[in-house]
Amino acid sequence: MALMEFADRETKTIRASAALTTGFVAATFTMPNGGTATSWNMEGANFLALSLAFPIASSGFQLKVEYSDDKSAWYQDTDRTTANPTLGIQANKIYVDQFIAAGNYYKKYYPVVADFVKVSAIAVAGTPVLVIKATKARV
């Protein structure tokens, strides 16, 4: 069995240690020219990983990743649940990850086929502190 090989790997801190708010706030990506943006160009990459440092247990936070091909229309992951098993009806709901316990978390998104990604977080309650590092690569 061969190991996965990563090419064109790039890692950025996209959220410095700061308290979250009660509204989803997009992380900030620093561009090569020194400017900033709330989305990351995934050109040439098909793998996204997020390293999440959540040092103090609190009421937790939620994380969402959105995808776009043009930076104007954004799409979120959905999760299927059975709304009515008797009729075989499936319901889709917006998918977010929720974290409660303090710790260091690692989330992988593969394959990523969109041109741009946006990462946002929100406090469930209180003002928890969160640091996010993002890595993109071609696998």
Q: How far apart are CA 78 and CA 71, in angstroms?
A: 19
Q: Is residue 84 part of a domain?
A: yes
2 within a domain of the structure (yes/no): no
Q: Which domain holds residue 27?
A: 7-71+79-138
CB 42 within 8 A of CB 115: yes
Q: How many domains does the chain have?
A: 1
CATH number at residue 121: 2.60.120.380
Query: How far apart are the C-alpha atoms of 38 and 22, rounded to whole Å?
Result: 18
In a domain, 1, yes or no: no
pLDDT in tens, 34-48: 788 899 999 889 999
Prediction pTM value: 0.83
- Number of neighbouring beta carbons within 10 Å of residue 99: 19
Q: Considering the domain boundaries, does residue 125 fall inside one?
A: yes
Provide the token pair at 110: 């593969």
Q: Return the pLDDT at 82.
A: 62
| pLDDT tens for each residue of 55-101 | 876 678 999 999 999 999 999 987 766 666 677 777 777 888 998 88
Residue 124 lies in a domain: yes
Percent of the chain, pLDDT > 90? 40
